[in-house]
């Protein structure tokens, strides 16, 4: 029996649970052990959640019924999720390399997907959201009871916490795959957000005189 080989076998972990507290270990496990299909599945599921979030933010229920919103989210959400996976990974990869990162584009894609696990699991709150709030999830002026308003506020707090934690996990995952300091990884994550905010501020400033 070769005890040396047995001692070096990497223990199996479950990315769906370990990512919450051990993002660096999880992304390393995914890079070394998980196939590309696992990454694509996460991106597709995250796309569905993101489409529902956007439908709510844009009050899509004012013009669409809930059945249509759910159908389009199931059909179009995965497509947008896959596109977002490659676009976002490309952006993070370029910034990481500018800061001295040593990972590959595939490594960056894996890191982004691992952080998306947080969003997918957190997205399960859409199940009670749909059962409790129904069409009101997607309307600008929903007629909600006191109990529904309380649930809506609770759901918003959960989504805020999930979104913030996913950014932290993304930073930790990028730090791992690119061998960057955590501060550089945080900069990699925040820079696109800052630039996007500045872009909208400039656009708003340029268009305000014409409003």
pLDDT tens per residue across all 211 residues of the chain: 445 544 455 678 899 999 999 999 999 999 999 889 999 999 999 999 999 999 999 999 999 999 999 999 999 999 999 999 999 999 999 999 999 999 999 999 999 999 999 999 999 999 999 999 999 999 999 999 999 999 999 999 999 999 999 999 999 999 999 999 999 999 999 999 999 999 989 988 888 776 6
In a domain, 4, yes or no: no
The SS3 of residue 174 is helix
Q: Which residues contact 178 (CB under 8 A, 6 or more apart)?
A: 96, 97, 101, 102, 103, 107, 108, 185, 188
pLDDT of residue 15: 93
In a domain, 7, yes or no: no
Residue 46 lies in domain = 16-210
pTM: 0.88
pLDDT of residue 1: 46
**190/150 Cα distance (integer angstroms):** 32
In a domain, 1, yes or no: no
**149/128 Cα distance (integer angstroms):** 13
In a domain, 6, yes or no: no
For 123, the enclosing helix (H) or strand (E) is: none
pLDDT of residue 211: 63
pLDDT of residue 205: 82
- Tell me 62's DSSP state: G
In a domain, 148, yes or no: yes
Could you identify the residue written with the tokens 């129904």? 134
Torsion sign (Cα): 56, 62, 63, 65 = positive
Contact of 166 with 116, CB cutoff 8 Å = yes
Query: How many domains does the structure of the chain reveal?
Result: 1
In a domain, 44, yes or no: yes
Gyration radius of the chain's alpha carbons: 20
Q: How many CB atoms lie within 10 A of CB 44?
A: 18
Q: What is the biggest distance separating any 2 CA atoms in the chain, rounded to whole angstroms?
A: 79
In a domain, 51, yes or no: yes
pLDDT of residue 6: 46
In a domain, 8, yes or no: no
Token pair listed for 2? 């070769």
């Amino acid at each position: 029996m070769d005890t040396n080989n047995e001692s070096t076998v990497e223990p199996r972990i479950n990315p769906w649970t370990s990512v919450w507290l051990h993002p660096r270990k999880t992304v390393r496990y995914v890079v070394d052990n998980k196939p590309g299909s696992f990454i694509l599945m996460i991106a597709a599921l995250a796309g569905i959640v993101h489409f529902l979030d956007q439908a709510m933010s844009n009050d899509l229920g004012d013009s669409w019924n809930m059945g249509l919103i759910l159908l389009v989210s199931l059909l179009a959400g995965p497509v947008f999720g896959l596109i977002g996976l490659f676009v976002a990974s490309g952006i993070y990869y370029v910034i990481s390399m500018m800061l001295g990162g040593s990972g590959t584009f595939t490594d960056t894609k894996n890191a982004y997907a691992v952080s998306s696990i947080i969003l997918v699991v957190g997205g399960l709150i859409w199940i009670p959201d749909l059962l409790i709030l129904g069409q009101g999830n997607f309307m600008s002026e929903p007629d909600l009871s006191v109990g529904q308003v309380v649930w809506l506020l609770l759901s918003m707090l959960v989504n805020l916490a999930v979104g913030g934690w996913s950014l932290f996990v993304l930073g930790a995952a990028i730090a791992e795959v690119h061998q960057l300091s955590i501060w550089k990884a945080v900069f990699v994550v925040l820079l696109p957000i800052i630039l996007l905010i500045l872009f909208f501020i400039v656009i708003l400033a340029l268009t305000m005189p014409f409003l």
